Amino acid sequence: MKFELPKLPYTLHKLEPVISERTMSFHYGKHHQMYVNNLNNLIVGTEFENADLEIIVKQSNGAIFNNAAQVWNHNFYFLTFTPKKGTAPNEKLAKAIDQTFGSLDKFKDEFEKAAVSIFGSGWAWLVSDDAGKLSIEKESNAGNPITRGLNPLLTFDVWEHAYYLDYQNRRADQMKALWDIVDWNEVSKRY
């Protein structure tokens, strides 16, 4: 199976000022594309040559896992955003967030703290388990919660290439800004 970058539902400049067109062109157009290219090259002649992306993430290791997980993570990340302001979690997800974290604002605070506290590069995730219980998970490098049977709902990328051109060393500033472009309609569909 040959993998490709997902088509974005917005143009690269539409997430400004939260994520600049310049960052999008590097992050989506170069970093994400590199993971896709690497994965396509690495799986040739392996048991994963015709597997879907989720199977590869769940069953591979080493370089194949790192590139497959980064393709999956980035696909998920970029398809979570919208230039439309003011979306909100649907009633079911909002209720679960309130029950687990106390309120949407408290959840956002906890999620930002988790993202900022990741040492080095990685991902902060809002996930649910099989019973629908929500939690915040932190993953280093290419880590992905589907490898532990969790259902990802939302992720923030804390690799430097995700924010450095726009925010330099101010990871926390981008984590706070990202809420302006989260497509809660998309996140709610995943719950």
Q: Using one digit for the tens of pLDDT, what is the confidence trace for 69-126?
A: 999 999 999 999 999 988 999 999 999 999 999 999 999 999 999 999 999 899 999 9
Cα 183 to chain centroid distance, Å, stands at 12
Predicted TM-score (pTM) above 0.75:
yes
pLDDT (0 to 100) of residue 162 = 78
Cα distance between residue 140 and residue 118, in whole Å:
7
Residue spans of beta strands (DSSP E) within the chain: 122-128, 134-140, 151-157
Which one-letter DSSP state was computed for residue 120?
S
- Report the CATH superfamily, name and number, of domain 91-189: Iron/manganese superoxide dismutase, C-terminal domain (3.55.40.20)
Torsion of the alpha carbons at 155, 117, 91 and 128, rounded to the nearest 10: 70
Question: Angle at CA 20, nearest 5°, toward 122 and 186?
Answer: 65
User: Do residues 119 and 27 lie in contact, with contact meaning Cβ atoms separated by under 8 Å?
Assistant: no
Cα distance between residue 60 and residue 127, in whole Å:
22
User: Do residues 82 and 75 lie in contact, with contact meaning Cβ atoms separated by under 8 Å?
Assistant: no
Please state, rounded to an integer, the average pLDDT across all residues of the chain. Answer: 95
Residue 57 pLDDT grade (very low, low, confident, very high; cuts 50, 70, 90): very high
Cα distance between residue 11 and residue 21, in whole Å:
9
**CATH number assigned to the domain covering 21-78:** 1.10.287.990
Cα distance between residue 21 and residue 12, in whole Å:
5
Checking if the pLDDT of 165 tops 90, the result is no
- At 19, the amino acid letter reads I
- At 12, the amino acid letter reads L
Cα distance between residue 49 and residue 154, in whole Å:
28
Question: Angle at CA 191, nearest 5°, toward 146 and 29?
Answer: 60
pLDDT (0 to 100) of residue 112 = 97
Q: Break the chain down into helix, strand, coil percent, rounded to 5.
A: 50, 10, 40
Cα distance between residue 6 and residue 61, in whole Å:
23
Which one-letter DSSP state was computed for residue 181?
T
Residues carrying CATH 1.10.287.990, the chain: 21-78
Residues carrying CATH 3.55.40.20, the chain: 91-189
Cα distance between residue 34 and residue 42, in whole Å:
12
